[in-house]
Amino acid sequence: MPKEGITPRATDYSQWYLDIVRGADMADYAEVVRGCIVFKPTGYAIWEAMQRELDDRIKATGHVNAYFPLLIPKSFLLKEAQHVEGFAPEVAEVTRASGEDLTEPYVIRPTSETIIGYFYAKWVRSYRDLPLLVNQWANVMRWEMRTRPFLRTAEFLWQEGHTVHANEEDAERETLLILNEVYADFAETVMAMPVIKGLKTEKEQFPGALRSYSIEAMMQDGRALQAGTSHNLGQNFAKAFDITYTDQNNTVQYAWTTSWGVSTRLIGALIMTHSDDEGLVLPPRLAPTQVVVVPIFKNDAERSAVMAVVEQLTAEWRGKLRFKVDDRDNLTPGFKFNEWELKGVPVRIEVGPKDVEKGSVALARRDMPGKEGKQFVSQAGLTERITALLDEIQQNLFARALRLRENRTFDVFSYDELRAAVDKGFARCYWAGSREDEQRIQDEFRATIRCIPLEQPDSAGRCVLTGKETTQQVIFARAY
């Protein structure tokens, strides 16, 4: 039975998503600021957990954090023609300050390649300064017309890495390092979200990039979500902002740069990958609260006995588990169960007077709602049992999401099969078409090439559209 207030996924997937965001108390619309949201504590706690995990991975690969200005001189964007063309419709400008017109307008950063390029041109002088490996955690603004909490808002939070290298090989190595060892690893091992790693087509790549890579995930409705991107920018931005270095032969060379980022749309991906008609479902490695304990009592004597056991059980959890004891006495146990299920806490422990007598607790796992996921277990060894269960839930969520993707990925060999497949999920096919061919498919049935997977077949096949022989396969899908 779907939880009251949550539209079943099968009825209206879009409304289901919005009901989860509202019901789990994750965000609110910022009506007074067009296209923006307020991150409520539950939603922001998830972003903080993502930040910590990603920041650790980014720093482990040798990068350091910095921060650059929110406002960018408009002339900076004009220096890189491809870049400004790609972002022009989304840019918000500041033209007045202190009651006076500015000599030059500023744009609120849609991304930071241009402002960072300006400073890198000052900082890089010699090959000894390279590689320069910097990341920033920031907010950006893109003037979106159609918004949806976390997935697409005018202002959003993200990290954006910007690096400088001596040659193309080093820049390409950096681009793939971030894609594989930071983004894909985080998505699969922490978010429990399987992803396809691949190269973007020229049509879909980042404006101004030499090559763009992405990780693509399948949501429960069969649509794709681009969960992270990593770009080899070549020398485009280096030439636009004169980022040069003197090499070992004392010759001045243009540098090679990269940029890469993930954003708070990962929260939307998390919701749509794991949640159900009962509410939010969180993988344990990312859940701000992994275990909630609900004491059950009717009077002061029962409360005293139950709370003594709760204190004893949780004493050894400190530093091992992220837990909360919900001892609010103005709410019924049923209300609390409902609330914590809705907010996606992976494990719930119930302790009542009978449990005190029997030396047991009731243990419920969120990935299996209802009677299937609930059992009575001994208080002895509870910490070890919960720790093992959290690992099991993490693996179960990943396996479940992977099964969904495998069951809804179709190998197609004709145009009609392609059209039918993208109604249900991912279409994997051989492709030798042009940019114009891609656009034709997008116009006809709203599907795009999500990526050219890094893992390619050993044998050749015929392009699903042109019939030409090729060894390249792509993934077509409708996307968020």
Q: What's the CATH code of the domain at 443?
A: 3.30.110.30
Q: At 262, which CATH number?
A: 3.30.930.10
Beta strands in 264-311 (DSSP E): 291-295
CA 350 to chain centroid, in Å, comes to 32
**Is 169 found in the same domain as 20?**
yes
Q: Is 151 helix (H, G, I), strand (E, B) or coil?
A: coil
Q: Are residues 54 and 150 in the same domain?
A: yes
DSSP structure class, residue 177? H
In terms of domains, do 295 and 363 share one? yes
Cβ burial of 377 (10 Å; 0-12, 13-18, 19+) is middle
Residues recorded for the chain: 480
pTM of the model: 0.95
Measure the N-to-C terminal CA separation of the chain; round to a whole number of Å.
28
Do 126 and 265 reside in the same domain of the chain? yes
Strand, coil or helix: 233: coil
Give yes or no: residues 38 and 164 share one domain. Answer: yes
Q: How many domains does the chain have?
A: 3
Unique residue bearing structure tokens 């497949």 = 421
Residues 205 and 269 in one domain: yes
User: Under DSSP, is residue 320 helix (H, G, I), strand (E, B) or coil?
Assistant: coil
7 domain residue, yes or no: no
**Residue 125: C-alpha distances to residues 117, 163, 325 (Å):** 13, 14, 56
User: Which range of residues forms the domain containing residue 447?
Assistant: 409-477
CATH number of the domain that residue 314 is part of:
3.40.50.800
Same domain, 155 and 225: yes
Query: Does residue 107 lie in a domain region?
Result: no
Residue 244 lies in a domain: yes
Within-domain flag for 6:
no
Q: How many CB atoms lie within 10 A of CB 153?
A: 23
Got the DSSP string for 352-419?
-HHHHHHTEEEEEETTSTTGGGEEEEESTTHHHHHHHHHHHHHHHHHHHHHHHHHHTEEE--SHHHHH
Cis peptide bond upstream of 194, omega within 30: no
pLDDT tens digits, the chain, 480 residues: what are they?
567 789 999 999 999 999 999 999 999 999 899 899 999 999 999 999 999 999 999 999 999 999 999 999 999 888 766 665 666 668 899 999 999 999 999 999 999 999 999 999 999 999 999 999 999 999 999 988 788 999 999 999 999 999 999 999 999 999 999 999 999 999 999 999 999 999 999 999 998 899 999 999 999 999 999 999 999 999 999 999 999 999 999 999 999 999 999 999 999 999 999 999 999 999 999 999 999 999 999 999 999 999 999 999 999 999 999 999 999 999 999 999 999 999 999 999 999 999 999 999 999 999 998 889 999 999 999 999 999 999 999 999 999 999 999 999 999 999 999 999 999 999 999 999 999 999 999 999 999 999 999 999 999 999 999 999 999 999 999 999
Whether residues 254 and 307 share a domain: the answer is no
Helix extents (H) in 103-167: 113-123
Q: Cα separation of 54 and 262, whole Å?
A: 9
Residue after which a domain boundary falls, among 274, 299, 320: 274
Distance of CA 52 to the CA centre of its chain: 13
Please indicate, yes or no, if residue 97 is contained in any of the structural domains.
Answer: no
Tell me if 110 sits within 8 A of 230, measured CB to CB: no
Place of tokens 């990943």: 398
